[in-house]
Chains A and B, each alone.
Chain A
Amino acid sequence: MPTTSKDRAAAFFRDHAMVILIVGLAVVVSILRPNFISWPNLNNLAVNTAGRFLVALGVSGCLITRGTDLSAGRLVGLGACVAATLLQNPDYSGRFFPNLPRLPVWVALLAAVLVCAAFGLINGCVISFLKVPPFIATLGMQTFVYGICLVYTGAKPIGGLRRDYTDIANFKIGQFNVWMIVIAVVCGFFIWLLYNQTRHGKYMYAIGGNEAAAEVAGVNTSATKIRIYTLAAVFYALGGFLWAAKSGGTSVNMGQGYELEAIAACTIGGVSVNGGVGRVSGILVGVLVFELLKIALQFMGVETSYTYIVQGLVIVVAVALDLRKYLVKR
């Protein structure tokens, strides 16, 4: 335990090094490029954060139980494609289902959620019952889902989305896409409640802390992990649904690589890869900071190709810093 104020300051810097660095970068950028802090840019940041926050919330449960979910990005893509194919304009020429009646938006959302949840359920069962390590199980699922999505869409982009669907993501009050932000906040609250105020949450942290001990303590570790992976897929579907609406169209490539961004954001936000640790507020900060990094690099005129290099570095450095916190001197 840190005792002196100097120790405490040092511990604070160590625990939040990544966040401090990136916020520092944003401050520098806002001084160099004054239009960095503007309403449209803040809205841009908020919307990007909202979407990715949903994916990060999903992945966080897997990470807290010392697992991971590499199928997240592809499930986002599948969710987007399922929703979009069911919500195209009746008069759009490249309509996917030409004779489809006009479905309520919530039916399409439900369809996307159910399809993705089914794959999440499979993830959970493979990990719990077949004891396949989460890394491998979800790596397989990543490719599997991509294949399913290719077969389903025939690799064709899906456009001509209905106005009432795209409005969900694009409706603005003032400068802000309110629905995106409201949905993200509601989901964040739901997960906070789940993690902190329910048995499921306590069991999840217990599994992450020590799975063998949790089992002896009477935790149904299989059921808990299955719930986690299924719920994660529900959140990916919701993310995909909103993204397709936001962009007004989608394709099989929607969501590619989002799992890595989500894992990186969680880690920056203090979800430990050693398991058992992670808070919703931290996840939000992690996503926000990661998006801030991307926008700041954009504003500095850094070419997209280079931003990938920086993002890759940030991911590894964030995990290295995280592990340092738990390295106990023997």
Chain B
Amino acid sequence: MSEYRLEMRDICKSFPGVKALDKAQLRLRPGTVHALMGENGAGKSTLMKCMFGIYRMDSGQIYYEGSPVTIRDPLQALHLGIAMVHQELQPIPERSIAENIFVGRYPVKRWGPLLLVDHQRMYQDTTRVLEEVGMTFPPRARLGSLSVSQMQSVEIAKAVSARCKVLILDEPTSSLTTKEVESLFQIIERLKSQGVSIVYISHKMDEILRISDEVTIMRDGHYIGTWQAEELTTDRIITQMVGRELSSLYPPRENHPQEALLEVRGFSSPNPHSFQDVNFTLHSGEILGVGGLVGAQRTELMEGLFGVRAHSQGKILLKGQPVRIQHPRDAIRQGMALLTEDRRATGILGVLSIADNISISSLDRYLRWGRLLDQKRIRKLVEDHFQKLSIKAPSGKTPIQSLSGGNQQKVLFSRWLATDPDILILDEPTRGIDVGAKYEIYTIISQLARQGKGILLISSEMGELIGMSHRVMVMCDGRVTGFLEGAAVTQERIMALATQFS
């Protein structure tokens, strides 16, 4: 018997254009909470998906209780006793709680020649496992009727009911209130005392230092090291995660914001749980950071401003003039650009070429004879941006989906720069991008600010938010809770404003 419940040795995994994992390691002891830390894109989720059989690793070996195993799919992982609560929950909201817990392994009973689902037993078992995690929901209730945190408890109950020995929690607290976090921690303590090994992925230092026994840190797909949690401090973790001094990563902010460019007054969503009564002003040449936790409705606000989502009240003034924006087309016409948070879902046109991806928003500018596209000028546009943003790709005809995240992002920047916008809304512009490309993107952003463009920068990385912004606007539960400027922009102040209502 090995001293570890589960060991991952030298795990490598590549995606087109990126090496997501390069000899990653993880050693998990029974009955401990093991924190897995690293910046966005460090490979934590990828490593866990390899452990859970969602991805197949290119090389490396997993040992389970001392013996080598190959995990081909999640079902096999579950049979071994590994369960995972996903970062983005993947429940079936239209079905009952019980069915969500027992999906794929319904208890059955014989009825003559037929094998039927034993609903009675399923409901009984559901009540029991829910009690085990300290919850009392009616097992027949529709899962969709629960809140996000309650759904998460159900997911954990599901893992518990599978009698798992390894439980992966991928950013479990990102959408929870303080009180809900406490009850989650109680569940974790209980599971730990039952001998379950828990992998805990989170960005929140205080949580990590509080509940974990061991900490493994990753950076750019590499294994950096494993420490006992009591040996660590927040500073030490950050240094290991980032691997360099934070200050040198960001270009200097030399320019000073000028006149008001965009004024937002009393801007509210028709959905009462989304953004409400938002007021702010963005100046020309200013990078206005937007901070907050997941669920603070930052993305929703930006999509509202850009006309992707509806708003019910409020005014948008551009250079002092009120404008109506009901569709992204209106926003683009008014000189706005939106780099969306989820590049794959709402950014890239996957199968299309780089050239088409760059030109799609500005085709109106490249017409001849009224209706036909001026291919020559479009080609020049594409070549110019290849150079200006140093996009690394064989040619403009290459499909965008074969590029690395950083290069895809540069193509999307090119798309918006081609529309010559005054205001750029950048929603997590460096998510899932390797460090080198990150710096290039920071340089692009600060150049744009120097040219007098107004920039709204939404970021969940504290370093980025603090290092890049002239001012930071913080949101919590759909409301703006404050603005920070100059020396007042600190991690602690941002967190205080971001958790004001919880």
Determine the distance from Cα of A276 to Cα of B357 in the docked complex, in whole angstroms: 12
Query: In the assembled complex, which residues on chain A have CB atoms less than 8 Å from the CB atom of B55?
Result: 330
From A6-14, A51-59, A147-155, A202-210, the one touching the partner chain is A202-210
Q: Which of B343-373 contact A (CB under 8 A)?
A: 345-352, 356, 359-361, 363-364, 367, 371-373
The reply to whether B361 and A217 form a contact with Cβ atoms under 8 Å apart is yes
Query: A172 → chain B, closest Cβ, in Å?
Result: 35
A213 at interface, CB cutoff 8 A: yes
Determine the distance from Cα of A215 to Cα of B346 in the docked complex, in whole angstroms: 8
In the complex, residue of chain B having the shortest beta-carbon distance to the beta carbon of A210 = B349
Given contacts A197-B373, A198-B373, A213-B346, contact A218 B328 (CB under 8 A): yes
The reply to whether A330 and B372 form a contact with Cβ atoms under 8 Å apart is no
In the complex, residue of chain B having the shortest beta-carbon distance to the beta carbon of A200 = B371
| Total cross-chain contacts (CB, 8 A) | 83
Of listed A197, A209, A277, residue having the most chain B CB within 10 A: A209
A1 at interface, CB cutoff 8 A: yes
Query: In the assembled complex, which residues on chain B have CB atoms less than 8 Å from the CB atom of A216?
Result: 306, 308, 328, 338, 340, 346-347
The reply to whether A206 and B328 form a contact with Cβ atoms under 8 Å apart is no
Query: A131 → chain B, closest Cβ, in Å?
Result: 15
Q: Which of B34-64 contact A (CB under 8 A)?
A: 54-56
Task: Determine which of A209, A214, A215 lies in contact with B351 in the assembled complex, contact meaning CB atoms within 8 Å.
Answer: A209
Query: In the assembled complex, which residues on chain A have CB atoms less than 8 Å from the CB atom of B373?
Result: 197-199, 202
The reply to whether A197 and B363 form a contact with Cβ atoms under 8 Å apart is no
Determine the distance from Cα of A214 to Cα of B308 in the docked complex, in whole angstroms: 11
Q: Which of A113-132 contact B (CB under 8 A)?
A: none
The reply to whether A217 and B350 form a contact with Cβ atoms under 8 Å apart is no
Determine the distance from Cα of A198 to Cα of B366 in the docked complex, in whole angstroms: 10
Determine the distance from Cα of A277 to Cα of B367 in the docked complex, in whole angstroms: 23
A320 at interface, CB cutoff 8 A: no
Query: In the assembled complex, which residues on chain A have CB atoms less than 8 Å from the CB atom of B372?
Result: 193, 197-198
20 pairs, CB–CB < 8 Å, chain A vs chain B: A1-B402, A198-B373, A199-B363, A202-B356, A202-B360, A205-B356, A210-B349, A212-B345, A213-B340, A213-B345, A213-B346, A213-B348, A214-B349, A215-B328, A216-B306, A216-B328, A217-B360, A218-B332, A218-B360, A276-B349
Name A's B-contacting residues (CB within 8 A).
Answer: 1, 193, 197-199, 202-203, 205-206, 208-210, 212-220, 272, 274-277, 329-330
5 additional A-B pairs beyond A210-B349, A213-B347, beta carbons within 8 Å, are A202-B359, A206-B352, A214-B349, A218-B331, A218-B419
Name B's A-contacting residues (CB within 8 A).
Answer: 54-56, 306, 308, 327-329, 331-332, 338, 340, 345-352, 356, 359-361, 363-364, 367, 371-373, 375, 402, 415, 419
Complex A-B, nearest 4 residue pairs according to Cβ-Cβ distance, in ascending order: A209-B349, A276-B351, A218-B332, A199-B363
